[in-house]
Structure 1
Amino acid sequence: MGIFITFEGPEGSGKSTIIQGVNDYLLKHHETLVTREPGGIPLSESIRDLLLEETYHMDGHTEALLFAASRRVHLVEKILPALNHGKIVLCDRFIDSSLAYQGYARGLGFDPIFQINKFAIDTHMPDLTIYLKLDPKIGLLRKKDNDVEHNRLDNEEIDFHERVVMGYNKLSEQYPERIKTIDANQDIDAVLHDTIDAITQFIKSRGE
Protein backbone atom coordinates (compact mmCIF):
# COMPACT_ATOMS: atom_id res chain seq x y z
CA MET A 1 0.00 0.00 0.00
CA GLY A 2 1.24 3.46 -0.85
CA ILE A 3 1.18 6.68 1.16
CA PHE A 4 -1.59 9.27 0.84
CA ILE A 5 -0.34 12.83 1.46
CA THR A 6 -2.64 15.84 1.15
CA PHE A 7 -1.79 19.53 1.05
CA GLU A 8 -4.07 22.14 2.59
CA GLY A 9 -4.12 25.88 3.13
CA PRO A 10 -5.93 29.10 2.28
CA GLU A 11 -5.97 30.72 -1.13
CA GLY A 12 -2.47 31.69 -2.29
CA SER A 13 -0.62 29.50 0.21
CA GLY A 14 1.60 28.05 -2.52
CA LYS A 15 0.29 24.49 -2.55
CA SER A 16 0.87 23.89 -6.26
CA THR A 17 4.46 25.12 -6.12
CA ILE A 18 5.26 23.12 -3.00
CA ILE A 19 3.66 19.95 -4.36
CA GLN A 20 5.77 20.20 -7.51
CA GLY A 21 8.93 20.65 -5.45
CA VAL A 22 8.04 17.73 -3.19
CA ASN A 23 7.27 15.55 -6.20
CA ASP A 24 10.62 16.36 -7.82
CA TYR A 25 12.35 15.35 -4.58
CA LEU A 26 10.39 12.13 -4.02
CA LEU A 27 10.78 10.92 -7.60
CA LYS A 28 14.45 10.20 -6.85
CA HIS A 29 13.41 7.20 -4.75
CA HIS A 30 9.65 6.66 -5.08
CA GLU A 31 6.81 6.33 -7.57
CA THR A 32 4.38 9.20 -7.15
CA LEU A 33 1.05 10.51 -8.37
CA VAL A 34 0.19 14.21 -8.29
CA THR A 35 -3.49 15.14 -8.38
CA ARG A 36 -5.90 17.79 -7.13
CA GLU A 37 -9.37 18.44 -5.76
CA PRO A 38 -11.85 19.18 -6.96
CA GLY A 39 -10.64 17.56 -10.17
CA GLY A 40 -8.08 14.94 -11.06
CA ILE A 41 -10.32 13.06 -13.49
CA PRO A 42 -12.75 14.31 -16.20
CA LEU A 43 -15.97 14.00 -14.15
CA SER A 44 -14.42 15.71 -11.13
CA GLU A 45 -12.98 18.45 -13.34
CA SER A 46 -16.51 19.10 -14.64
CA ILE A 47 -17.76 19.40 -11.06
CA ARG A 48 -14.80 21.75 -10.38
CA ASP A 49 -16.01 24.01 -13.17
CA LEU A 50 -19.45 24.19 -11.56
CA LEU A 51 -18.06 24.85 -8.09
CA LEU A 52 -15.57 27.54 -9.02
CA GLU A 53 -17.34 29.35 -11.86
CA GLU A 54 -17.60 32.99 -10.75
CA THR A 55 -21.08 33.53 -12.23
CA TYR A 56 -22.66 30.69 -10.22
CA HIS A 57 -24.26 31.24 -6.82
CA MET A 58 -24.93 28.33 -4.47
CA ASP A 59 -25.38 27.82 -0.76
CA GLY A 60 -22.93 26.02 1.50
CA HIS A 61 -24.91 22.77 1.55
CA THR A 62 -24.80 22.53 -2.25
CA GLU A 63 -21.08 23.27 -2.22
CA ALA A 64 -20.44 20.57 0.36
CA LEU A 65 -22.43 17.93 -1.54
CA LEU A 66 -20.74 18.71 -4.84
CA PHE A 67 -17.27 18.59 -3.28
CA ALA A 68 -18.10 15.24 -1.66
CA ALA A 69 -19.41 13.80 -4.94
CA SER A 70 -16.27 14.93 -6.76
CA ARG A 71 -14.11 13.52 -3.96
CA ARG A 72 -15.77 10.10 -4.15
CA VAL A 73 -15.24 9.50 -7.84
CA HIS A 74 -11.71 10.94 -7.71
CA LEU A 75 -10.83 8.65 -4.79
CA VAL A 76 -12.23 5.51 -6.41
CA GLU A 77 -10.95 6.07 -9.94
CA LYS A 78 -7.55 7.65 -9.33
CA ILE A 79 -6.27 7.79 -5.75
CA LEU A 80 -7.01 4.24 -4.54
CA PRO A 81 -5.61 2.52 -7.65
CA ALA A 82 -2.36 4.49 -7.24
CA LEU A 83 -2.14 3.62 -3.55
CA ASN A 84 -2.81 -0.04 -4.31
CA HIS A 85 0.18 0.07 -6.67
CA GLY A 86 2.38 1.37 -3.86
CA LYS A 87 2.67 4.97 -5.07
CA ILE A 88 2.95 8.08 -2.92
CA VAL A 89 -0.09 10.20 -3.80
CA LEU A 90 0.30 13.96 -3.46
CA CYS A 91 -3.14 15.56 -3.51
CA ASP A 92 -3.85 19.30 -3.60
CA ARG A 93 -6.78 19.49 -1.11
CA PHE A 94 -8.99 16.74 0.31
CA ILE A 95 -11.47 16.38 3.18
CA ASP A 96 -9.91 19.11 5.35
CA SER A 97 -10.76 21.72 2.72
CA SER A 98 -14.45 20.88 3.06
CA LEU A 99 -14.19 20.99 6.85
CA ALA A 100 -12.43 24.39 6.81
CA TYR A 101 -14.37 26.05 3.99
CA GLN A 102 -17.90 24.69 4.32
CA GLY A 103 -17.78 23.36 7.87
CA TYR A 104 -16.16 26.35 9.54
CA ALA A 105 -16.14 29.34 7.17
CA ARG A 106 -19.70 28.68 5.91
CA GLY A 107 -20.82 27.85 9.44
CA LEU A 108 -22.22 24.40 8.65
CA GLY A 109 -20.18 22.71 11.40
CA PHE A 110 -17.39 20.15 11.34
CA ASP A 111 -19.61 17.18 12.25
CA PRO A 112 -22.21 17.49 9.44
CA ILE A 113 -19.49 18.01 6.82
CA PHE A 114 -17.47 15.12 8.20
CA GLN A 115 -20.52 12.83 8.00
CA ILE A 116 -21.14 13.77 4.36
CA ASN A 117 -17.53 13.05 3.55
CA LYS A 118 -17.38 9.88 5.62
CA PHE A 119 -20.05 8.51 3.29
CA ALA A 120 -17.95 9.63 0.31
CA ILE A 121 -14.51 8.38 1.39
CA ASP A 122 -15.38 5.59 3.84
CA THR A 123 -12.21 5.00 5.91
CA HIS A 124 -9.74 6.46 3.40
CA MET A 125 -8.33 9.40 5.32
CA PRO A 126 -4.93 10.88 4.40
CA ASP A 127 -1.89 9.33 6.05
CA LEU A 128 -0.29 12.77 6.34
CA THR A 129 -1.58 16.28 5.74
CA ILE A 130 0.66 19.28 5.16
CA TYR A 131 -1.05 22.49 6.27
CA LEU A 132 0.54 25.56 4.72
CA LYS A 133 -0.44 28.19 7.26
CA LEU A 134 -0.61 31.72 5.85
CA ASP A 135 -2.17 35.10 6.61
CA PRO A 136 -5.16 35.17 4.22
CA LYS A 137 -4.51 38.80 3.25
CA ILE A 138 -1.04 37.81 2.04
CA GLY A 139 -2.43 34.81 0.19
CA LEU A 140 -5.01 36.80 -1.73
CA LEU A 141 -2.39 39.39 -2.69
CA ARG A 142 -0.12 36.59 -3.93
CA LYS A 143 -2.88 35.18 -6.12
CA LYS A 144 -3.57 38.61 -7.57
CA ASP A 145 0.11 39.38 -8.20
CA ASN A 146 0.83 35.97 -9.74
CA ASP A 147 -2.23 36.07 -12.01
CA VAL A 148 -3.14 32.46 -11.13
CA GLU A 149 -6.56 30.84 -11.52
CA HIS A 150 -9.24 33.15 -10.13
CA ASN A 151 -12.43 31.50 -8.90
CA ARG A 152 -15.69 32.14 -7.10
CA LEU A 153 -14.20 31.63 -3.64
CA ASP A 154 -11.66 34.39 -4.27
CA ASN A 155 -14.56 36.85 -4.41
CA GLU A 156 -15.57 36.20 -0.81
CA GLU A 157 -14.94 38.95 1.75
CA ILE A 158 -11.73 38.82 3.78
CA ASP A 159 -13.58 37.67 6.90
CA PHE A 160 -14.57 34.48 5.06
CA HIS A 161 -10.92 33.73 4.28
CA GLU A 162 -9.98 34.51 7.89
CA ARG A 163 -12.56 31.96 9.04
CA VAL A 164 -11.05 29.41 6.65
CA VAL A 165 -7.68 29.83 8.38
CA MET A 166 -9.36 29.60 11.79
CA GLY A 167 -10.97 26.35 10.65
CA TYR A 168 -7.64 24.94 9.52
CA ASN A 169 -6.04 25.99 12.82
CA LYS A 170 -8.70 24.14 14.77
CA LEU A 171 -8.27 21.04 12.62
CA SER A 172 -4.50 21.09 13.10
CA GLU A 173 -5.04 21.25 16.87
CA GLN A 174 -7.60 18.43 16.72
CA TYR A 175 -5.46 16.10 14.59
CA PRO A 176 -1.82 16.94 15.44
CA GLU A 177 -0.52 13.48 14.54
CA ARG A 178 -1.87 13.67 10.99
CA ILE A 179 -1.70 17.39 10.22
CA LYS A 180 1.75 18.98 10.17
CA THR A 181 1.72 22.78 10.11
CA ILE A 182 4.25 24.61 7.92
CA ASP A 183 4.80 28.37 8.15
CA ALA A 184 3.95 29.50 4.60
CA ASN A 185 4.78 33.14 5.39
CA GLN A 186 8.45 32.22 4.79
CA ASP A 187 10.13 32.41 1.39
CA ILE A 188 9.29 29.51 -0.90
CA ASP A 189 12.64 27.73 -0.47
CA ALA A 190 12.20 27.65 3.31
CA VAL A 191 8.63 26.40 2.99
CA LEU A 192 9.73 23.64 0.63
CA HIS A 193 12.61 22.66 2.92
CA ASP A 194 10.31 22.39 5.95
CA THR A 195 7.71 20.47 3.97
CA ILE A 196 10.20 17.94 2.60
CA ASP A 197 11.64 17.50 6.10
CA ALA A 198 8.17 16.74 7.54
CA ILE A 199 7.42 14.27 4.76
CA THR A 200 10.76 12.44 4.91
CA GLN A 201 10.43 12.09 8.69
CA PHE A 202 6.97 10.60 8.20
CA ILE A 203 8.17 8.17 5.53
CA LYS A 204 11.07 7.06 7.77
CA SER A 205 8.63 6.52 10.64
CA ARG A 206 6.77 4.08 8.40
CA GLY A 207 10.00 2.21 7.71
CA GLU A 208 9.86 2.92 3.98
Structure 2
Amino acid sequence: MEAAGRGLFITLEGGDGVGKSTQAALLEEWLTSRGRRVVRTREPGGTEAGVEIREIVLHHRGDIAPRAEALLYAADRAHHVATLVRPALDRGDIVLQDRYIDSSVAYQGAGRVLDPVEVRDLSLWAAEGLLPDLTILLDLDETTARARLDGARTRYDRLEAERSDFHARVRAAYLELAAAEPERFLVVDASRPVDEIAAEIRARLDDRV
Protein backbone atom coordinates (compact mmCIF):
# COMPACT_ATOMS: atom_id res chain seq x y z
CA MET A 1 0.00 0.00 0.00
CA GLU A 2 1.07 3.54 -0.62
CA ALA A 3 2.03 5.74 2.32
CA ALA A 4 1.70 9.51 2.42
CA GLY A 5 4.08 11.62 0.34
CA ARG A 6 6.16 14.62 1.38
CA GLY A 7 3.65 15.75 3.98
CA LEU A 8 2.32 13.84 6.97
CA PHE A 9 -1.09 12.18 7.04
CA ILE A 10 -2.59 11.78 10.53
CA THR A 11 -6.05 10.36 11.18
CA LEU A 12 -8.10 10.24 14.37
CA GLU A 13 -10.39 7.29 14.90
CA GLY A 14 -12.71 5.92 17.56
CA GLY A 15 -16.36 5.59 18.41
CA ASP A 16 -18.77 8.47 18.77
CA GLY A 17 -18.16 10.51 21.91
CA VAL A 18 -14.51 9.63 22.48
CA GLY A 19 -13.17 13.17 22.05
CA LYS A 20 -11.71 13.22 18.54
CA SER A 21 -12.68 16.83 17.85
CA THR A 22 -11.13 18.02 21.10
CA GLN A 23 -7.84 16.23 20.45
CA ALA A 24 -7.77 17.33 16.81
CA ALA A 25 -8.06 20.97 17.88
CA LEU A 26 -5.29 20.62 20.47
CA LEU A 27 -3.03 18.79 18.03
CA GLU A 28 -3.61 21.38 15.31
CA GLU A 29 -2.65 24.14 17.74
CA TRP A 30 0.54 22.32 18.76
CA LEU A 31 1.59 21.54 15.19
CA THR A 32 0.99 25.12 14.11
CA SER A 33 3.09 26.36 17.03
CA ARG A 34 5.96 24.28 15.64
CA GLY A 35 5.72 26.05 12.30
CA ARG A 36 3.87 23.35 10.39
CA ARG A 37 1.05 24.03 7.95
CA VAL A 38 -1.97 21.98 8.95
CA VAL A 39 -4.99 21.05 6.86
CA ARG A 40 -7.71 19.89 9.22
CA THR A 41 -10.54 17.95 7.62
CA ARG A 42 -13.02 15.15 8.16
CA GLU A 43 -14.87 12.31 6.47
CA PRO A 44 -17.50 12.49 5.31
CA GLY A 45 -17.84 16.19 4.59
CA GLY A 46 -14.36 17.53 3.91
CA THR A 47 -15.34 18.98 0.53
CA GLU A 48 -18.45 20.64 -0.91
CA ALA A 49 -19.52 17.37 -2.49
CA GLY A 50 -18.70 15.61 0.77
CA VAL A 51 -21.06 17.87 2.71
CA GLU A 52 -23.91 16.67 0.51
CA ILE A 53 -22.89 13.03 0.96
CA ARG A 54 -22.59 13.55 4.73
CA GLU A 55 -26.17 14.78 4.86
CA ILE A 56 -27.34 11.64 3.05
CA VAL A 57 -25.41 9.07 5.09
CA LEU A 58 -25.87 10.66 8.50
CA HIS A 59 -29.16 12.52 8.39
CA HIS A 60 -31.25 10.88 5.65
CA ARG A 61 -34.70 9.90 6.91
CA GLY A 62 -35.36 6.22 6.53
CA ASP A 63 -33.05 3.28 5.98
CA ILE A 64 -30.07 3.12 3.66
CA ALA A 65 -29.02 -0.36 2.57
CA PRO A 66 -25.65 -1.29 4.16
CA ARG A 67 -23.87 -1.73 0.83
CA ALA A 68 -25.25 1.56 -0.43
CA GLU A 69 -23.98 3.24 2.74
CA ALA A 70 -20.51 1.76 2.23
CA LEU A 71 -20.47 2.95 -1.37
CA LEU A 72 -21.49 6.48 -0.39
CA TYR A 73 -18.64 6.69 2.10
CA ALA A 74 -16.24 5.38 -0.54
CA ALA A 75 -17.46 7.97 -3.04
CA ASP A 76 -16.84 10.74 -0.52
CA ARG A 77 -13.38 9.32 0.18
CA ALA A 78 -12.39 9.13 -3.48
CA HIS A 79 -13.27 12.77 -4.09
CA HIS A 80 -11.81 13.96 -0.78
CA VAL A 81 -8.44 12.27 -1.31
CA ALA A 82 -8.14 13.37 -4.94
CA THR A 83 -9.08 17.01 -4.42
CA LEU A 84 -7.94 17.86 -0.89
CA VAL A 85 -5.75 15.29 0.87
CA ARG A 86 -3.23 14.41 -1.83
CA PRO A 87 -2.68 18.03 -2.95
CA ALA A 88 -2.03 19.02 0.66
CA LEU A 89 0.44 16.18 1.20
CA ASP A 90 2.19 17.03 -2.05
CA ARG A 91 2.66 20.59 -0.75
CA GLY A 92 4.32 19.19 2.36
CA ASP A 93 1.42 20.02 4.68
CA ILE A 94 0.22 17.96 7.60
CA VAL A 95 -3.26 16.60 7.00
CA LEU A 96 -5.12 16.08 10.28
CA GLN A 97 -8.28 14.15 9.56
CA ASP A 98 -11.26 13.01 11.61
CA ARG A 99 -12.10 9.47 10.32
CA TYR A 100 -10.81 7.59 7.30
CA ILE A 101 -10.70 4.02 5.99
CA ASP A 102 -10.64 2.43 9.44
CA SER A 103 -14.01 4.04 10.20
CA SER A 104 -15.56 2.31 7.20
CA VAL A 105 -14.14 -1.05 8.24
CA ALA A 106 -15.41 -0.59 11.80
CA TYR A 107 -18.80 0.99 11.12
CA GLN A 108 -19.87 -0.48 7.79
CA GLY A 109 -17.89 -3.71 8.19
CA ALA A 110 -18.40 -4.72 11.80
CA GLY A 111 -21.29 -2.41 12.65
CA ARG A 112 -23.40 -3.22 9.58
CA VAL A 113 -22.04 -6.79 9.46
CA LEU A 114 -20.59 -6.51 5.96
CA ASP A 115 -17.37 -8.28 4.98
CA PRO A 116 -14.64 -6.04 6.50
CA VAL A 117 -12.10 -7.14 3.89
CA GLU A 118 -14.43 -6.11 1.06
CA VAL A 119 -15.13 -2.77 2.75
CA ARG A 120 -11.41 -2.11 3.22
CA ASP A 121 -10.62 -3.09 -0.36
CA LEU A 122 -13.36 -0.77 -1.64
CA SER A 123 -11.98 2.12 0.40
CA LEU A 124 -8.40 1.48 -0.67
CA TRP A 125 -9.50 1.45 -4.30
CA ALA A 126 -11.35 4.73 -3.79
CA ALA A 127 -8.31 6.31 -2.11
CA GLU A 128 -5.84 4.85 -4.62
CA GLY A 129 -4.06 2.99 -1.84
CA LEU A 130 -3.34 5.99 0.39
CA LEU A 131 -2.86 5.03 4.05
CA PRO A 132 -2.15 7.35 7.00
CA ASP A 133 1.33 7.75 8.45
CA LEU A 134 -0.23 7.65 11.92
CA THR A 135 -3.70 6.70 13.12
CA ILE A 136 -4.64 7.84 16.62
CA LEU A 137 -7.31 5.52 18.05
CA LEU A 138 -9.12 7.07 21.01
CA ASP A 139 -10.49 4.02 22.80
CA LEU A 140 -13.41 4.24 25.20
CA ASP A 141 -16.08 1.75 26.20
CA GLU A 142 -19.35 2.36 24.46
CA THR A 143 -21.36 3.00 27.65
CA THR A 144 -19.11 5.85 28.77
CA ALA A 145 -18.95 7.25 25.25
CA ARG A 146 -22.75 7.25 25.04
CA ALA A 147 -23.02 9.06 28.36
CA ARG A 148 -20.74 11.77 26.97
CA LEU A 149 -22.90 12.11 23.87
CA ASP A 150 -26.07 12.32 25.95
CA GLY A 151 -24.56 15.24 27.84
CA ALA A 152 -23.53 17.11 24.71
CA ARG A 153 -26.05 16.40 21.94
CA THR A 154 -29.65 17.25 21.24
CA ARG A 155 -29.62 15.69 17.76
CA TYR A 156 -28.11 12.30 16.98
CA ASP A 157 -27.04 11.19 13.52
CA ARG A 158 -27.93 7.78 12.12
CA LEU A 159 -24.81 6.08 13.47
CA GLU A 160 -24.83 7.75 16.88
CA ALA A 161 -28.42 6.60 17.34
CA GLU A 162 -27.57 2.91 16.87
CA ARG A 163 -27.96 0.47 19.78
CA SER A 164 -25.14 -0.35 22.20
CA ASP A 165 -24.39 -3.71 20.57
CA PHE A 166 -23.63 -1.90 17.30
CA HIS A 167 -21.15 0.38 19.07
CA ALA A 168 -19.61 -2.58 20.90
CA ARG A 169 -18.90 -4.24 17.55
CA VAL A 170 -17.41 -1.01 16.24
CA ARG A 171 -15.06 -0.70 19.22
CA ALA A 172 -13.96 -4.34 18.94
CA ALA A 173 -13.25 -3.87 15.24
CA TYR A 174 -11.11 -0.81 15.91
CA LEU A 175 -9.03 -2.68 18.47
CA GLU A 176 -8.55 -5.57 16.04
CA LEU A 177 -7.36 -3.15 13.35
CA ALA A 178 -4.90 -1.57 15.77
CA ALA A 179 -3.55 -4.95 16.87
CA ALA A 180 -2.99 -5.92 13.23
CA GLU A 181 -1.04 -2.72 12.41
CA PRO A 182 0.74 -1.60 15.60
CA GLU A 183 3.31 0.40 13.64
CA ARG A 184 0.58 2.66 12.23
CA PHE A 185 -1.73 2.94 15.23
CA LEU A 186 -1.38 4.76 18.52
CA VAL A 187 -4.07 3.46 20.87
CA VAL A 188 -4.92 5.96 23.60
CA ASP A 189 -7.13 5.42 26.64
CA ALA A 190 -9.77 8.10 26.03
CA SER A 191 -11.06 7.93 29.62
CA ARG A 192 -7.99 9.83 30.79
CA PRO A 193 -7.84 13.63 31.24
CA VAL A 194 -7.75 15.62 28.01
CA ASP A 195 -4.29 17.10 28.67
CA GLU A 196 -2.77 13.67 29.37
CA ILE A 197 -4.13 12.32 26.10
CA ALA A 198 -2.79 15.34 24.20
CA ALA A 199 0.65 14.90 25.78
CA GLU A 200 0.79 11.22 24.75
CA ILE A 201 -0.09 12.12 21.18
CA ARG A 202 2.52 14.87 21.05
CA ALA A 203 5.17 12.50 22.41
CA ARG A 204 4.48 10.05 19.57
CA LEU A 205 4.86 12.82 16.98
CA ASP A 206 7.66 14.84 18.55
CA ASP A 207 10.48 13.44 16.40
CA ARG A 208 8.39 13.53 13.19
CA VAL A 209 7.37 17.17 13.09
- Structure 2 CA distance, aligned partners of 1:92 and 1:49? 16
Task: Please give the secondary structure, in 2, of the residue aligned with 1:191.
Answer: helix
Higher-helix-fraction structure = 1
Deviation at 1:105, TM superposition (A): 1.8
Deviation at 1:80, TM superposition (A): 0.8
Deviation at 1:109, TM superposition (A): 2.0
**CA deviation string 1:146-170 (max 9, x = no partner):** 2276201111110000000000010
- Structure 1 CA distance, aligned partners of 2:21 and 2:192? 16
Please give the residue correspondences for 1:114-129 in structure 2 after superposition, counting only pairs within 5 Å: 114-129=120-135
Are 1:84 and 2:90 an aligned pair?
Answer: yes
Deviation at 1:64, TM superposition (A): 0.6
Match of 1:190 in 2: 196
**CA contact under 8 A between 1:50 and 1:56: conserved in structure 2?**
no
**Which shows bigger deviation, 154-163 or 107-116?**
107-116
- Structure 2 CA distance, aligned partners of 1:57 and 1:157? 15
User: What letter is aligned with 1:144?
Assistant: D
What fraction of aligned residue pairs are identical, expressed as a percent? 36
Task: Please give the secondary structure, in 2, of the residue aligned with 1:194.
Answer: helix
**CA contact under 8 A between 1:8 and 1:96: conserved in structure 2?**
yes
Are 1:4 and 2:9 an aligned pair?
Answer: yes
- Structure 2 CA distance, aligned partners of 1:115 and 1:162? 23
Length-normalised TM-score, structure 1 = 0.94
- Structure 2 CA distance, aligned partners of 1:148 and 1:169? 29
Deviation at 1:63, TM superposition (A): 1.0
- Structure 1 CA distance, aligned partners of 2:202 and 2:119? 30
- Structure 2 CA distance, aligned partners of 1:148 and 1:171? 31
Deviation at 1:31, TM superposition (A): 0.9
Q: Which runs of 5+ in 2 are unaligned?
A: 1-5
Task: Please give the secondary structure, in 2, of the residue aligned with 1:27.
Answer: helix
Match of 2:54 in 1: 48
**CA contact under 8 A between 2:39 and 2:94: conserved in structure 1?**
yes
Q: Which runs of 5+ in 1 are unaligned?
A: none
- Structure 2 CA distance, aligned partners of 1:163 and 1:199? 29
Match of 1:14 in 2: 19
User: What letter is aligned with 1:8?
Assistant: E
**CA contact under 8 A between 2:101 and 2:124: conserved in structure 1?**
no
What's the RMSD between the two structures over aligned residues? 1.3
Length-normalised TM-score, structure 2 = 0.93
Deviation at 1:54, TM superposition (A): 5.4
Match of 1:131 in 2: 137
Are 1:57 and 2:48 an aligned pair?
Answer: no
Match of 2:3 in 1: none
- Structure 1 CA distance, aligned partners of 2:76 and 2:143? 28
Are 1:162 and 2:168 an aligned pair?
Answer: yes
Q: How many residues align?
A: 203
